[in-house]
Structures are given as structure tokens and as C-alpha cells.
């Protein structure tokens, strides 16, 4: 008989979400309900959670009661949880202070511990080490004959900046003797390598930020049969995050800018979707300074839109720098500043500020707006 696992991670219940906080937090709970309903519908043998199930910094005891009730209703399906970075297992964590139903198993140690799920199927898990420095799988070799699965909240070793976490990659997972790694931490779903997956990141069930348009938001359905592992990533999100870039070159006024933004939103089918979180990056060299307050009034869509400015100057700065005028002096001083800037983002902000100053010198009305 096949053995099936439904794997999730990074739900981040009770996270501090800046946009539509209460509604988004309620939708995260609803996402867990959909996932557990899917587990019952598929009649899986186990549910695995690779950390960041909730946010320890914000979660109240009632979120633990909610989780315990949800998992109890799932019985006899078993639930295995490897705590993560945002929900670490500590003596005063909700994990430690909650009475969990009998079908829930927590990995509480920072070292990998094996459990037998079924004859010949072993699940190795560990709690993410809270601020004790990261670790990898170097030197580890599993000692169980059969199918060995890894459950861990872990960063991709190729991605810098997560030194406090476990780190893994497909080569290390194979070298340690694991058949499959069920992972958490990355909010965009992916299988690595794609053709013969060893590392599975389902992604967060819902996008948690405006920049989370890459990957996808899934649970992973793992089927083990005759020593083989098959993995399907199943989308579960109701919200989506979207990133668009709109070139404003030669736009004469805010009406033209709004028209281009609306066209981009329509093309992405985001204009009538109230569950779309959209970041619109405005680029190019418009003939007017974008007035974001007026732009928001004219872009009347249901998507939740946030603007970032990455504008370039429409002026020929080298020519202006030769002028013996106030305008020429302004450009020369800005150029001296630009020569000291190494950050691309800071350089774009400086060029945008210079454009506004030049337009003001020409007598054009400049409205306050955000320089991102």
C-alpha cells in the first residue's frame, strides 16, 4: 500500500502583517483549515510541518488552543512538527506550554532524531536551533535500512545570510543517505532538482509580503511506494503577490501615468482581484514628477497596490553640468555626490531627487511624494 504525507511549512499564524492585518491573519487560519481538509480528503497517513507554524513573538495562548483543536480533529492522521526560526522550541514557547493531542509529535531537540512512520519508512527531524549558530549535514549518515525522510526548517546552503539556521542542499541530503528532505523557510515553493526532486520547499500557504511573487504557495503531497518517492506541489493560496514594472518615459501628466499603470494591472488580471498584493515599480524618465497621492486616486482597482520609484532623469546631465547657472551648479554638486554612491538603489533615489529639483527650478509644480 502507498504511504502518503501532506507536507506544509511557513504558515506564520498571528504574524504582524502590515497590509490588512486582521483580515490576513484570519485568512491564514482559514488556509490551515483548507490544508487539513485536504489531508482528510486524500486520506493521507501523516501531516508534516517544517517550522514557522506560528509567530512566537506575536502569538497568544489561544493560537495554541486553535492548533491543538485543529490537529485533534485530524486524528487518526498523525502530525509531525519540526519547530522553525519564528516558532522555536524553548521552555516557555507555546509548543512547550500546550497540551497537544496524542496524534501530534514534536521534535524538541536540536539534533536529528529518527521516528518510524511505518515498516521501513523513517522520518528524521530536529528543532531549529534558536540563535545558537547554524549547522549542516556534514558528517551525518543515516543508519536505518529503508526510506529515510528529513523534516527540517532549513536554509538553502547556496543562499547567504541565514547563519542561525540549518543549511542543506540536494547534494548534502543525498550524501547523508536521505531519500527526500521535507523543508521549510523559503516562502516560494520549489523542488530541487526539478527533474528528480530531493529537497522540497512547499512555500508559505499564503503570500506574506508584497515581494513574494516568485515560486508559489503550496502543500506537498508525497507518495511513497515500493521504495520510490513521488512529489506533487498543490497550490492552496487564495491571495497572490504580484510584482509589475511600468515604464513612464514621456508621460506628460498623472493621467498618462495612471493609464499605463491600469493597463499593466489589467494585463496581469489584477485590477478586479481584491486578494492581490501588487508592487508596481515605476521606471523610466517621465516629463512630470509622479504625484503618488493623485495616482492612487486615479488608479481605482481592487488590488492592493504599493508603488516604488526607480526613475531616471529625463535631463541631459552632462550638458547641464557645463552651464554657468544655478541649474549647472546644482547638477555639478549632485554629480559629485553620485560619484561617491555605490548602491544602485541610493543612486536611483539621488537621481529622482535631482529631477524634482530641476523641475522646480523650471517653475513646474512639484508635489510631495515618496522616493523609494
Q: Where are the domains of the chain?
A: 3-235, 240-361
What is the per-residue pLDDT for 21? 72
Radius of gyration of the chain (CA): 26
Q: What is the pLDDT of residues 77-98, one digit of tens each?
A: 999 999 999 999 999 999 999 9
Mean pLDDT of 239-264: 91
Q: How far is CA 190 from CA 172, 195, 199, 237, 369, in A?
A: 17, 11, 8, 15, 38
> CA torsion 309→315→319→323, rounded to 10°?
-100
What is the per-residue pLDDT for 315? 60
* 3-state secondary structure (DSSP) of residue 184: strand
Instruction: Judge contact between 80 and 115, C-beta under 8 A.
Output: yes
CA distance 190 to 217: 9
What is the per-residue pLDDT for 134? 58
What is the per-residue pLDDT for 370? 40
Among the residue ranges 140-144, 264-268, 363-367, the one predicted with the least confidence is 363-367
* 3-state secondary structure (DSSP) of residue 70: helix
What is the per-residue pLDDT for 132? 53
What does the block give as the cell for 322? 557645463
Whole-prediction pTM value? 0.81
What is the per-residue pLDDT for 298? 94
Q: What is the pLDDT of residues 324-372, one digit of tens each?
A: 888 889 888 888 887 788 776 777 777 777 877 877 777 655 554 443 4
Q: What is the pLDDT of residues 172-207, one digit of tens each?
A: 999 999 999 999 999 999 999 988 899 999 999 999
* DSSP 8-class letter at 344: H
CA distance 93 to 268: 42
- The answer for residues whose C-beta is within 8 angstroms of residue 132's C-beta and 6 or more apart is 110, 164
Mean pLDDT of 157-170: 74
CA distance 28 to 23: 9
What is the per-residue pLDDT for 92? 92
- Closest C-alpha to 126, from 151, 105, 103: 151
Q: What DSSP letter does each residue of 1-32 carry, written as one string?
A: --EEEEEE----BT---SSSHHHHHHHHHHHH
What is the per-residue pLDDT for 368? 47
Among the residue ranges 41-55, 66-80, 263-277, the one predicted with the least confidence is 263-277
Mean pLDDT of the chain: 87
Query: Percent of the chain having pLDDT more than 70?
Result: 91
CB atoms within 10 A of CB 337: 14
Q: Residue 167: beta bridge partners?
A: 155
Query: Percent of the chain having pLDDT more than 90?
Result: 53
* 3-state secondary structure (DSSP) of residue 355: helix
Among the residue ranges 11-15, 70-74, 100-104, the one predicted with the least confidence is 11-15
Q: Given a cut of 70, is residue 64 above it in pLDDT?
A: yes
Peptide bond before 76: cis, by omega within 30 degrees of 0? yes
Annotation: CATH topology of 3-235: Purple Acid Phosphatase; chain A, domain 2 (3.60.21)
Amino acid at each position: 500500500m502507498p504511504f502518503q504525507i501532506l507536507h506544509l511549512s511557513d504558515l506564520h499564524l498571528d504574524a504582524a502583517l502590515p497590509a490588512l492585518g486582521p483580515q490576513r491573519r484570519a485568512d491564514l487560519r482559514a488556509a490551515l483549515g483548507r490544508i487539513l481538509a485536504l489531508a482528510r480528503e486524500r486520506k493521507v497517513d501523516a501531516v508534516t510541518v517544517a517550522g514557522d507554524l506560528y509567530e512566537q513573538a506575536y502569538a497568544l495562548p489561544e493560537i495554541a488552543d486553535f492548533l491543538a483543536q485543529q490537529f485533534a480533529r485530524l486524528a487518526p492522521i498523525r502530525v509531525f512538527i519540526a519547530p522553525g526560526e519564528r516558532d522555536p522550541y524553548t521552555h516557555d514557547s507555546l509548543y512547550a506550554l500546550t497540551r497537544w493531542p496524542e496524534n501530534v509529535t514534536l521534535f524538541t531537540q536540536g539534533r536529528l532524531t529518527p521516528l518510524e512512520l511505518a515498516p521501513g519508512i523513517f522520518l528524521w527531524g530536529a528543532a531549529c536551533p534558536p540563535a545558537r549558530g547554524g549547522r549542516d549535514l556534514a558528517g551525518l549518515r543515516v543508519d536505518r535500512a529503508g526510506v529515510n525522510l528529513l523534516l527540517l526548517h532549513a536554509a538553502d546552503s547556496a543562499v547567504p545570510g541565514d547563519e542561525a539556521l540549518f543549511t542543506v542542499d540536494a547534494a548534502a541530503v543525498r550524501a547523508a543517505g536521505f531519500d527526500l528532505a521535507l523543508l521549510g523557510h523559503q516562502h516560494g515553493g520549489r523542488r530541487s532538482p526539478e527533474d528528480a526532486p530531493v529537497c522540497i520547499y512547499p512555500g508559505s500557504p499564503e503570500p506574506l509580503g508584497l515581494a513574494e511573487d516568485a515560486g508559489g504557495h503550496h502543500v506537498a503531497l508525497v507518495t511513497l511506494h515500493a521504495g520510490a518517492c513521488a512529489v506533487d506541489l498543490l497550490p492552496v493560496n487564495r491571495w497572490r503577490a504580484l510584482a509589475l514594472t511600468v515604464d513612464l518615459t514621456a508621460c506628460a501628466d498623472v493621467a498618462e501615468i495612471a493609464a499605463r499603470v491600469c493597463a499593466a494591472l489589467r494585463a496581469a488580471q489584477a485590477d478586479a482581484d481584491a486578494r492581490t498584493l501588487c508592487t508596481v515599480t515605476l521606471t523610466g524618465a517621465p516629463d512630470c514628477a509622479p504625484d503618488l497621492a493623485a495616482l492612487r486616486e486615479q488608479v481605482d482597482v481592487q488590488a492592493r497596490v504599493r508603488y516604488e520609484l526607480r526613475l531616471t532623469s529625463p535631463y541631459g546631465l552632462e550638458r547641464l553640468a557645463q552651464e554657468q547657472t544655478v541649474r549647472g551648479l546644482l547638477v555639478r554638486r549632485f554629480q559629485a555626490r553620485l560619484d561617491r554612491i555605490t548602491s544602485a538603489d541610493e543612486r536611483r533615489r539621488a537621481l529622482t531627487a535631482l529631477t524634482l529639483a530641476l523641475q522646480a527650478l523650471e517653475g513646474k509644480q512639484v508635489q510631495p511624494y515618496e522616493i523609494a
